[in-house]
Amino acid sequence: MDTLEYKFSGEVWVWSGKKTDWFFVTLPKEVSDHARYFTTHVQRGFKSLKVNAQIGDSQWKTSMFPSKQRQSYLLPVKKSVRLAENIEVGKSQEIKITLLGL
């Protein structure tokens, strides 16, 4: 099985829903475009892509989703990761993602 791994910096931002807030990082356009190009055969519902993600020492499995508004993929950041890594909204983070299912 092949893997695609990306390392980049990104800021955590908040999307406020009716019942809860969601925390995301927007992938850099070039990373998003590259991932989209090489993974058209592994997209799931809503054109999401399964990934392993890492910030600091915290690793987790999740799916990233395309955003028409931001013209890029969005990586959700779990509360446990935000707490473990002392992540603040608006602060840049070093992130590594590995696409799964290739």
Per residue in 21-72, pLDDT tens?
999 999 999 999 888 776 665 555 567 888 999 999 999 999 999 999 999 9
pLDDT value at residue 59:
98
Which CA distances in Å does 76 have to 1, 2, 66?
Answer: 25, 24, 11
pLDDT value at residue 34:
86
Q: Which amino acid is at 30?
A: E
Residue with more model confidence, 100 or 87? 87
Q: In terms of residue numbers, what domain contains 75? A: 4-99
Which CA distances in Å does 32 have to 42, 66, 101?
Answer: 15, 9, 17
pLDDT value at residue 1:
45
- Interatomic CA distance for residues 81 and 101, integer angstroms: 23
Using an 8 Å Cβ cutoff, are 4 and 52 in contact? no
The number of domains in the chain is: 1
- Interatomic CA distance for residues 18 and 63, integer angstroms: 22
Residue with more model confidence, 7 or 40? 7
What pTM value is reported for the model? 0.88
Residue 62: give its domain's CATH number.
Answer: 2.40.30.100
Which CA distances in Å does 22 have to 14, 42, 79?
Answer: 6, 25, 9
Which CA distances in Å does 58 have to 9, 27, 80, 82?
Answer: 15, 18, 9, 9
